[in-house]
Amino acid sequence: MTARVREFNAFLRDYVNLNQTRVNTLQSRVSSLDKFLGDDSTLGDLVTDDVIPQGSFAHKTIIRPYIGNDFDADVLLPMDEDPDWEPKKYTIELQKALEASKRYEGKTTLGKRCVTIDYADDFHIDVVPFITRGDGTTYITHRIDNEWVRQDPVALTEWIEESSRATNGHLIRVIRLVKYLRDRSSLNVASVVLTALLTERVHSFAGVDEYQNVATTLVTLVEDLNDYLGPMSSAPWVDDRIGQNLADRLTQTGFTNLQSQLKTWARKMRAALDAPSSESVDKWKDIFGDKFGASAKAELMLTASAAPIETYEKREAPGEQFLERDHHIPVRIQPEARFRLVGRMSATRRASGRYRPMSATGNHVPIGRSLSFTVEHCTVPAPYDVYWKVRNAGKEAVERHNLRGQIVKGGDKMTEHSSFAGNHWVQAWIVKNGVAVATDIQDVTITSS
């Protein structure tokens, strides 16, 4: 078995992942939009909180746009219900508020459920009014049908984030790779459908070998999805986590094409994974094209002057510590020893109440928030010790010489502050009788302002 970790890292970085310049542009424009809608627009009295990332933006599965395509960010605008407004009025009033600004005048298009803001480059933002009604339930609206549409995209985002943890973060990278292949095939399958289908195949009880790197995770999930869909005559129910069927977006022809493509991918990917080292790169090229492996020779160990770190690659930083090497604590993760590291952020000045889970926003955190990280649902009986590591990443962390990565002993909770943009993470270990038996990671994407 040849995992080709270096080749996959380089291929994702150079050809699949949205490049950092576009990420910064996306985050900056969403931040500006959020400030306008909450502080300066005519909707300010109804807006209750920051905009909430949804879809590929929230799930971190946006990929570089294929030739002729653009990329986008979907955000929800949390609003209280106005009892005098029909459902269709929310998108209409949202467009009016945007068009009243010199920043957005002439850039908006009114859709069925959203208002689209088109920018000069290959990018747009879809803004969806997200209304909390009198009974506390949440809805988006359908302007044409003038109807309320029950929705809780936060539940979908939290499910995907939880499943990604079970795969050591590799699920997100697999979704990006499959979307890359989809864009270069005849498939017509919405990203959210592909994402949900692959996420459904994740099993928290799977052995560590299945999810130990991106190649094994890719083959495991694609083979499982092929085995699941292969015998079916029509698309299965794909739950959006509140009982609605995402597969309604998939036509019968689209489903049949997906079955056929999965069968081919599963066969070729298994052959590439099982091939000897001398043959594996060529077999992966047969799937992903000649760009696979083309830039892997440039993959070097991170130094202080290196390029920003990608969130899911988590490469070693200068001065970073490791339990076994630097603290002489053996790491022997036990399947029955589990806990959840839960990150929360302080509420906005527009919102009230306690800290909210980062997973509700796809782990996106604005600058200037107080953060807390808590060990919860731990199955390891006390007493035990908790060891913590905070790792910063990205251009700003490198420039500030603030990558961190030291390991410290602490309690079940620690606090931090979102000070500068980048893809950061916090890791905790449960150490019982001098051995680390469980670990978990909370990603923290601090967005640029």
Q: Is 364 exposed, middle or buried (0-12, 13-18, 19+ CB in 10 A)?
A: buried
285's enclosing H/E stretch is helix 277-288
For 264-318, write each residue's pLDDT tens digit.
999 999 999 999 999 999 999 999 999 999 876 555 443 333 443 333 456 789 9
Burial readout 273-310 (b: 16 or more C-beta within 10 A, e: otherwise): bebeeeebbebbbebbeeebbbbbeeeeebeeeeebbb
Q: What is residue 313's predicted lDDT score, i.e. its pLDDT?
A: 52
In sequence order, the β-bridge partners of residue 415 are: 372
Q: What is residue 241's predicted lDDT score, i.e. its pLDDT?
A: 87
Rounded to two decimals, the pTM is 0.85
Residue 61: both structure tokens together = 């599965």
CATH class, 323-447 region: mainly beta
Q: Identify the CA nearest to 91 among candidates 32, 149, 152, 154.
A: 149
Q: Are 67 and 170 a contacting pair, CB within 8 Å? A: no
Neighbours of 231 (CB within 10 A): 7
Q: What is residue 263's predicted lDDT score, i.e. its pLDDT?
A: 98
Residues 6+ apart with CB under 8 A from 225: 197, 198, 201, 262
Q: What is residue 349's predicted lDDT score, i.e. its pLDDT?
A: 58
CA–CA distance, 120 with 107 (Å, rounded to integer): 9
Q: How many degrees, rounded to 5, is the angle at CA 259 between CA 254 and CA 265? A: 120
Neighbours of 66 (CB within 10 A): 13
Backbone phi, psi, residue 386, to 5°: -115, 130
Q: What is residue 286's predicted lDDT score, i.e. its pLDDT?
A: 97
CA–CA distance, 194 with 178 (Å, rounded to integer): 8
What are the Cα distances from residue 391, in Å, to 59, 69, 97, 141? 21, 34, 40, 40
> Which stretches of the chain drop beneath a pLDDT of 50?
300-312
Q: What is residue 347's predicted lDDT score, i.e. its pLDDT?
A: 79
Q: What is residue 408's predicted lDDT score, i.e. its pLDDT?
A: 97
Q: Considering only CA atoms, give the Rg of the chain.
A: 22
CATH 3.30.460.90 given to domain 20-152: yes
State whether residue 176 is helix, strand or coil: helix
Residue 59: both structure tokens together = 């799930």
Domain spans in the chain, listed from the N-terminal domain onward: 20-152, 156-298, 323-447
Q: What is residue 68's predicted lDDT score, i.e. its pLDDT?
A: 67
The separation between CA 243 and the C-alpha centre of its own chain, rounded to angstroms, equals: 22
